[in-house]
Structure 1
């Protein structure tokens, strides 16, 4: 076996779990040793250190991970990949990153050799392709050509799990001209939709899983997806048929209990952070403003959903505070204040000096500027410790940029300036707020970022692509509202451009074109994130992809940011409702005694 996932005692391996009630104490907790976790005072058990060590020992065969890499048995690759997929969906893959990397290295080598144990199994090949591509390995979609057409795939209608795996693989498309994955997406999505429509999926958990993936695949927020997976997880379900045949009597209740405990620990931390955010909001007097949107809970939910790792607490807080500040000031520019007052905020930020109260001109201007001023100064001090240099000039520059874009939009709206779609998009990607939120949060990931990195073309491309996705999707859902308000929107500009050129397109066609543009920018973003040897570390680039998912989550079928409906349900399950353990433990006791 390799030094990777030796899965003899975990879900997809050759032996069932032993009775591990003593080895894996169900009420012990995984240790979180980050400074941020200590700050929020999560109630963790000292014995959790042993729990992590023992799980790792079960995973790789020894507690010491510095093992000599041995020859991998290809027959283990499908079960290993299933285990990686399970760990990721349950949200505990961060505890086994080195082991996962080792397995994927072995898988990639065997993929290049066209190893039979990978390529003869449909679901196994699809899973290998997806996991390797999203981890940055150069794998061609040509290997998926045999499955691009439904008639070339020998499937029983009951084989929904295999089709679902092919569907997930099709979503790893990063090239515009990739007809293989496009065809694969079309037939697998149609197949799965038909199964849902005819209610021919007997397994209700699988039925719900298919619904979840089809509803809004690119809008699945990391931790919201984890909660869904934990709710639907079936300890007797195996995704690859050959694994079922080889290992029919396995139990993985330990992994499920461990994952649920981990989720609950993170949830406690998110609740603590919400309290901190509410205190900050009140201290800034933002709660006294009588206009606009109060998005404190929304900001807490979104950041908790994409920054699940406990050690990212400071990054979450920086991101959440900027969501709130940007929203408050955006609303002020739109309708909360006068044109002169809006200009005043930009002038104050450029000057970056506190004034006597009477010089602000209005209480609202004073509150908004002071909130930005104090928050940026506080974050700059924290970032100095993390980065070893002053980043305050960058943070101020980001505020000047976004306020300037607000001003440009305000001027074009009030002066009835005619803009082309390209002119609009050249500045509106800044005003959506992704750039300022992301670059603030990146200061707190434990990675030192040089000025050259943050001013690089790569950083600009990452910011532009993710921001364009969120802006375009936002425009689709707010088109009717903004048309009634006579404000500029990319859908309206698309219609106007067609009219000038003598073309007739419907509103639905214009919206479809804008969605296609968003898809283009998403794929460009994925190309940069998945590419190896770039300026930014993968840990940083992943944040851009997570924020891209926010755009799809918020604007898939409405404006969830302004009028949250599905978000309220997801917020309840992610932030407020802990997962129960009693039923699992009771079932586990029974299975252990049998």
Structure 2
């Protein structure tokens, strides 16, 4: 997973033999972009005043009244629900929205709407909610030759709505494939001709990142400004969305303050200079998995785990010798702090902190009689480091695996199986059961699809810059094809995997939507950070701006 974009002298210690240093791979990552920036966000700075709390509650009830009082069979209702969800305030009204969407589904009539925008919006909202509505509702907009009617092609709002809906397609829905292909290319062609600046921005944003792949918090930050430009916007919704965004941002700033303090106390940046110092980026990653205030504990757990995992990844990928890595792997499999002295000095701090993080999790979950959850998480971490070790053996022995061998191992080493399991440990509402952990650790189709996306997107940006074999190398050799041909095939597989995820999100589901959303959101983060470049390893431009937009800059009233 580590991306290597430059070469530099490796980290050294006085008692390290030169021959051992020569075995180490050479790499330089840019230092932390944020350093101690978030240490300034003390309790005084992030305090949520009584006035803010009162105003938030007052505005929330006004919006709730709007949701309840707007008729479910009206176009206004689906437009209201869409706005609420895209503004990032849907988590306040989950029960009300679910009740409305259930009624809308029960009375769904594919022949009722002749307005393409409205029908596509209704379809998308139902699919988002997990309802398996039929895709043949769009056949009415095709002519006798199977092409879109002229009236549809001239309707930019309708075409945009169709495009967003078609991104919720599952395998076998040929009409949605046709809708997606046509709407995306048609919107691309129309974009230079759109004179309405607000509409032009919405089309551009959608083509870059459709709603189906958008992280809620980041999406709401962008949509609030777009919504404000819309002359027909609802001022009550807009003001509540802004206030809620800023209040929640203060909560997140307080959390990243404590996470940064925890990280800085161990001085990882100084003690492991060969590794990526990315704790803020890790928090941003996990903020994508769950941003809601009720997931504060789960967010803290998972941020610490992914931060340590990033260090482990670099130890195995970049710095450790094979003998050292075997010692670390054995120690983690035995999970015994007394083994720390058997490790090389640079490995000890990582091992100690790894065990302390899981001990912290176990202590907190034991209070609720749920310490068993941490055992599942530990086993997934052990499985991950075993995969890291096998990859290291391949690298040192210059073994060239088959596509099948590579994918079997690297779907695990991509870490998404471990992160998905660990994401459930700190979740309290709704309750997570032992059966849920049994399901997610069985590597179900949902998790397989997410891991495929993670692996393929990682390998596409890593090829040519990583000092190890990637799937690109193996595929080109086995198939006798070019890099472009391999990339085209990988994108086909990524698209299929997204359809697999869409399939797992609609009823009947193998798990609750709350659990499925964790895996879906993890996949959305990969889709954001690994398009075109590794924006995690190289986090000093695009990722820096994304973090700034959700964790630094408040919204202006």
Q: Normalised by the shorter chain, which TM-score bucket?
A: 0.7 to 0.9
1:539 and 1:286, CA in 2 relative to 1: closer, same or farther beyond 3 A? same
Report the counterpart of residue 129 of structure 1 in structure 2.
123
1:37-48 superposed matches below 5 A: 42-45=48-51, 46-47=53-54, 48=56
Report the Cα distance in structure 2 between the residues aligned to 1:156 and 1:466, rounded to whole angstroms.
Answer: 34
Shift of 1:449: 2.9
426-435 or 382-391, larger mean C-alpha shift: 382-391
**Quick check: 1:233 aligned with 2:208?**
no
1:190-269 superposed matches below 5 A: 190-196=185-191, 199-217=192-210, 219-234=213-228, 236-237=230-231, 252-269=234-251
8 Å Cα contact 2:166/2:177 also seen in 1: yes
Report the Cα distance in structure 1 between the residues aligned to 2:439 and 2:556, rounded to whole angstroms.
Answer: 47
- Deviation string, structure 1 residues 170-211 (Cα, Å, up to 9, x no partner): 101111x22101110111111110122xx2111212211111
Q: 2:532 aligns with which of 536, 557, 567?
A: 557
Report the counterpart of residue 12 of structure 2 in structure 1.
none
SS at match of 1:456: helix
Shift of 1:138: 1.8
1:431-442 superposed matches below 5 A: 431-442=413-424
Report the Cα distance in structure 1 between the residues aligned to 2:555 and 2:381, rounded to whole angstroms.
Answer: 40
Report the counterpart of residue 160 of structure 2 in structure 1.
164
**Quick check: 1:495 aligned with 2:503?**
no
Q: 1:84 aligns with which of 81, 85, 97?
A: 81
Unpaired segments of 5 or more residues in structure 1? Answer: 1-36, 63-71, 239-250, 500-504, 582-594
Shift of 1:221: 1.8
8 Å Cα contact 2:135/2:175 also seen in 1: yes
1:489 and 1:576, CA in 2 relative to 1: closer, same or farther beyond 3 A? same
Report the counterpart of residue 475 of structure 1 in structure 2.
459
Report the Cα distance in structure 1 between the residues aligned to 2:185 and 2:106, rounded to whole angstroms.
Answer: 33
Report the Cα distance in structure 1 between the residues aligned to 2:526 and 2:196, rounded to whole angstroms.
Answer: 31
Report the Cα distance in structure 2 between the residues aligned to 1:459 and 1:90, rounded to whole angstroms.
Answer: 35
Report the counterpart of residue 543 of structure 1 in structure 2.
518
SS at match of 1:84: helix
**Quick check: 1:305 aligned with 2:288?**
yes
**Quick check: 1:59 aligned with 2:42?**
no
Report the Cα distance in structure 1 between the residues aligned to 2:133 and 2:457, rounded to whole angstroms.
Answer: 30
Report the Cα distance in structure 2 between the residues aligned to 1:138 and 1:356, rounded to whole angstroms.
Answer: 52
165-174 or 411-420, larger mean C-alpha shift: 411-420
Shift of 1:115: 5.5
370-379 or 305-314, larger mean C-alpha shift: 305-314
Larger relative CO (CA 8 A, sep 6+): 1 or 2?
Answer: 2
8 Å Cα contact 1:349/1:396 also seen in 2: no
1:73 and 1:354, CA in 2 relative to 1: closer, same or farther beyond 3 A? closer
Report the Cα distance in structure 1 between the residues aligned to 2:335 and 2:443, rounded to whole angstroms.
Answer: 25
Report the Cα distance in structure 2 between the residues aligned to 1:374 and 1:450, rounded to whole angstroms.
Answer: 24
Report the counterpart of residue 490 of structure 2 in structure 1.
514
TM-score (normalised: structure 2): 0.85
Shift of 1:236: 4.4
Report the counterpart of residue 589 of structure 1 in structure 2.
none
Shift of 1:282: 2.5
1:148 and 1:547, CA in 2 relative to 1: closer, same or farther beyond 3 A? farther
8 Å Cα contact 2:335/2:355 also seen in 1: yes
Report the Cα distance in structure 2 between the residues aligned to 1:511 and 1:232, rounded to whole angstroms.
Answer: 34
Report the Cα distance in structure 1 between the residues aligned to 2:489 and 2:456, rounded to whole angstroms.
Answer: 10
1:356 and 1:418, CA in 2 relative to 1: closer, same or farther beyond 3 A? closer
Report the counterpart of residue 20 of structure 2 in structure 1.
none
338-347 or 364-373, larger mean C-alpha shift: 338-347
Report the counterpart of residue 10 of structure 2 in structure 1.
none
8 Å Cα contact 2:116/2:158 also seen in 1: yes
Shift of 1:44: 4.9
Report the Cα distance in structure 1 between the residues aligned to 2:286 and 2:418, rounded to whole angstroms.
Answer: 14
Q: 2:381 aligns with which of 367, 382, 399?
A: 399
8 Å Cα contact 1:412/1:418 also seen in 2: yes
**Quick check: 1:187 aligned with 2:171?**
no
1:578 and 1:185, CA in 2 relative to 1: closer, same or farther beyond 3 A? same
Shift of 1:148: 5.7
Q: 2:298 aligns with which of 306, 310, 315?
A: 315
Please report the RMSD computed on the Cα atoms of aligned residues, expressed in angstroms.
2.4
8 Å Cα contact 2:476/2:486 also seen in 1: yes
Shift of 1:572: 1.1
Shift of 1:230: 0.7
Shift of 1:369: 0.4
Report the Cα distance in structure 2 between the residues aligned to 1:44 and 1:299, rounded to whole angstroms.
Answer: 31
Report the counterpart of residue 332 of structure 1 in structure 2.
315
**Quick check: 1:573 aligned with 2:546?**
no
SS at match of 1:185: helix
TM-score (normalised: structure 1): 0.80
1:363 and 1:43, CA in 2 relative to 1: closer, same or farther beyond 3 A? farther
- Deviation string, structure 1 residues 379-437 (Cα, Å, up to 9, x no partner): 12223345634333222211210100000101111112231111111110111111222
Report the Cα distance in structure 2 between the residues aligned to 1:459 and 1:266, rounded to whole angstroms.
Answer: 35
8 Å Cα contact 1:314/1:444 also seen in 2: yes
Shift of 1:533: 4.7
Report the Cα distance in structure 1 between the residues aligned to 2:477 and 2:69, rounded to whole angstroms.
Answer: 65
8 Å Cα contact 1:147/1:184 also seen in 2: no
